[in-house]
Amino acid sequence: MKAIEILVKEHDSILKMIEITTILLNKEDKTTINIEHVEKVIDFIKNFADKYHHLKEEDILFLEMEKHGMSREFGPIAMMLHEHNEGRNYIRLAVEGIERFKQGDISAFAQIKENLMAYCILLTNHIAKENNILYPMSEQILPANVLSAMSDDFEKSNTNTFENEYYDKYLKLIEEFSNIYLN
Ligand SMILES: [Fe+2]
Ligand SMILES: [Fe+2]
């Protein structure tokens, strides 16, 4: 699979989890919310979205684009990096909310929901910008051999995750939650 196709496929998985999260957070009221499922969503975001996906962008794709003339300090790459950090901040606050909620503070649900929903909106827009602007741009400026080496790199890193969790934990979780929340 081409490098950019791998990234777009990961976007599809993240968007599916966003759809699930929106239903999960809006379906249940704060007294019946399945906090264990919310924690699994956060774990997915931290690892699948922020580690496996965002690090492919930050450490590999954006770096190559920089080597081929694009700035990391301003313009589209700077904006994407800024949005990754904004997302991390929302997740940090949601995790804080979960801790309070688990200690019995039901009012912390508002903090969880507010920050997770803000994350979902941010990432939905972020993904649209990458799919429609940044990725096509990268395919124009990067030489074919760089893109093909990147694809090998991505494939290899996906098949070499701890306990194959990329596939066996995170992609399976999407399936599992789709059956619960999207049917
Ligand atoms: Fe990104
Ligand atoms: Fe992305």
CA of 54 to the centre of ligand 1 (A): 6
pLDDT tens digits for the chain (183 residues)?
A: 999 999 999 999 999 999 999 999 987 566 677 899 999 999 999 999 999 999 999 999 999 999 999 999 999 999 999 999 999 999 999 999 999 999 999 889 999 999 999 999 999 999 999 999 999 999 999 999 999 999 999 999 999 999 999 999 999 999 999 999 998
- Please write the tens of the pLDDT for every residue from 40-70: 999 999 999 999 999 999 999 999 999 999 9
Is 141 in contact with 69 (CB distance < 8 Å)?
yes
| Amino acid residing at 53 | H
Range of the domain at 176: 3-181
In this structure, which ligand is nearest to the CA of 14? 2
Q: Long-range contacts made by residues 149-155, C-beta under 8 angstroms, separation at least 24?
A: 150/3, 150/60, 150/61, 150/64, 151/1, 151/2, 151/3, 151/6, 153/3, 153/60, 154/3, 154/6, 154/7, 154/56, 154/60, 155/1, 155/6
For 138, counting Cβ atoms within 10 Å of its Cβ (0-12 exposed, 13-18 middle, 19+ buried), the class is: buried
Instruction: Look up the CATH number of the domain holding residue 170.
Output: 1.20.120.520
Number of folded domains that form the chain: 1
Check residue 82 and give its pLDDT. Answer: 98
- Please write the tens of the pLDDT for every residue from 110-119: 999 999 999 9
CA of 32 to the centre of ligand 2 (A): 33
Q: Smallest Cα–Cα separation from 56: which of 114, 8, 103? A: 8
